[in-house]
Amino acid sequence: MKGNVLVIGLGLIGGSVALAIRQEHKEAFITGFDVNEQNIALAKVLGIIDESCDSVEKEAAQADLIVIAIPVLKTAEMIKRLAAMPLKKDVLITDVGSTKERIVEASQVLAEQGIAFIGAHPMAGSHKSGTGAAKAHLFENAFYMLTPGENITAEQIETLKTWLKGTRAHFLEISPRVHDQLAGVISHFPHIIAAGLVNQARSSELDSELVSRLAAGGFRDITRIASSSPAMWRDILLQNQEVILSLMDSWQTEMEKIKSLIKERNSEGIYHFFDEARRFRDSLPSKSKGAIPAFYDLYVDVPDYPGVISEITGYLAEERISITNIRILETREEIYGVLVISFQTDNDRERAQDCLGRLTEYDTYLV
């Protein structure tokens, strides 16, 4: 498609959307705006945008597509600013925020002027953040949620999908309210739990050094999402307040239930508590992307001898398999250590497992 695209916010998500549009629509001209001048400079160097602008007002009037990729609490303010500008009547405006109901409500000022706003949330992310982490394939096979208002036509939705075709994502259309409920259950609330577990460990009365050392293994893995941006999660929870508070009430009820079972020494009840969780967790798709960015880790049992890590990474390099992170869970003299290797995609992990699986000295497994 030909046309002018304005991307407001050039971080990980905004930059990746811009790259996906560029990949599919070579003739589109992409302009970027960001309050951080370093992001703008990097976006130019990386070819994410064709040009930058000093103000949204200057470029918005010429845009055929406007993508708002800024913090959710700022998105409503940006929508109001756009509503006061002389925009094209057929311009499409969308966002990438993790909450939708309040943002779609705020877009009513655009609807009153006949301007189409389609709320959206690409459910994908990365271990890294910022413009430098942007990738055109970030959203590939991920769910890209669309939450159109009542004034939006089927044709306008299809036009947005065409613009975003380069994401290679799976588009789902749902109401803003249902989106926020779903996101609360499978993304927002789990981040609260992860942060709560970490804070509990931090404030433990036990020896802090031992807590830190022992928490470096599985505990660190299950609480990875607690490392997310505090500012971002503050904004998300304030935007999705009603859903979050309801989920917290349900969680407290669930914890009281298991607490009671433990007090009563109810062996069967405790068993069922974990068994139901295990069965539901094991039924979840293992290959598809969800709301929380997946971590494609491969665990490798390795003998402890000099050069073993460079040996393994060397084999992967020969296969041109990119590694995003590598760490050692445990190495002690004369026993096997566990090497955890992280990859960008599940395909890379599968290739790595196949590569190392051909070598008898390494045992690989997933968890």
> Highest-confidence range of 137-146, 271-280, 331-340, by mean pLDDT?
271-280
63-67, 125-129, 173-177, 304-308, range with the lowest pLDDT: 125-129
Q: What is the pLDDT of residue 287?
A: 63
Taking alpha carbons only, the member of 40, 102, 110 closest to residue 80 is 110
Query: Residue 27 domain-assigned?
Result: yes
Reported as a pLDDT band with limits 50, 70 and 90, residue 325 is confident
Q: Would you say residue 319 has pLDDT above 80?
A: yes
Burial of 54 (0-12, 13-18, 19+ CB in 10 A): exposed
For residue 274, the domain's CATH number is: 1.10.3660.10
Domain assignment present for 290: no
* Residue 71 belongs to domain with CATH number: 3.40.50.720
Could you tell me if residue 355 is inside a domain? Answer: yes
User: Which one-letter DSSP state was computed for residue 226?
Assistant: G
pLDDT for 147 equals 97
Instruction: Specify the pLDDT at position 305.
Output: 74
pLDDT for position 339 = 83
Query: Can you tell me the distance from the alpha carbon of 5 to that of 30, in angstroms, rounded to the nearest whole number?
Result: 5
Higher pLDDT, 284 or 161: 161
Mean pLDDT within 344-359? 84
Number of other residues whose CB lies within 10 A of the CB of residue 331: 15
- What is the model's pLDDT at position 328? 76
pLDDT at 284: 83
Note whether 109 and 51 are same-domain residues. yes
Taking a C-beta distance cutoff of 8 angstroms, is the pair 164, 21 a contact? Answer: yes
Q: What is the pLDDT of residue 332?
A: 45
| 117 and 80 both lie in a single domain | yes
Q: For residue 129, how many other CB atoms are within 10 A of its CB?
A: 15
In this structure, are residues 296 and 367 in contact, taking their beta carbons and an 8 Å threshold? no
Final residue before a domain boundary, out of 130, 151, 174: 174
Rounded percentage of the chain residues whose pLDDT exceeds 70? 91
The fraction of the chain above a pLDDT of 90, given in percent, is 61
In the predicted model, is pLDDT for residue 191 greater than 80?
A: yes
Using alpha carbons, select from 358, 318, 360, 321 the residue that is nearest to residue 341. Answer: 321
> 282-321 as b/e, with b when 16 or more CB fall inside 10 Å?
eeeeeeebebbbbebbbebebeeeeebbeebeebbeeeeb
Tell whether 289 is covered by a domain.
Answer: no
pLDDT at 344: 75
Does 69 share its domain with 153? yes
- Rounded Cα distance between 58 and 27, Å, is 21
The pLDDT assigned to 337 comes to 66
Which domain range does residue 361 map to? 296-365
Residues 246, 276 within the same domain:
yes
Q: Which helix (H) or strand (E) holds 180?
A: helix 176-183
Q: Are residues 15 and 151 in the same domain?
A: yes
11 in any annotated domain: yes
Q: What is the pLDDT of residue 89?
A: 93
- Residues 251, 216, single domain; the answer is yes
- Residue 336 has a pLDDT of 57
Is the sign of the CA dihedral 121, 127, 131, 134 positive or negative? negative
Assigned domain for 336 exists:
yes
333: confidence class by pLDDT, cuts 50, 70, 90: very low
Q: Is the pLDDT of residue 108 over 70?
A: yes
Looking at the fold, whether 168 and 233 belong to one and the same domain comes out as: no
pLDDT at 331: 45
Average pLDDT of the chain? 89
Same domain? For 269 and 307 the reply is no
125 and 90 housed in the same domain: yes
Same domain, 163 and 200: no
Last residue of a domain, one of 174, 195, 217: 174
3-state secondary structure of 195: helix
Q: Quickly state the pLDDT bin for 180 (edges 50, 70, 90).
A: very high
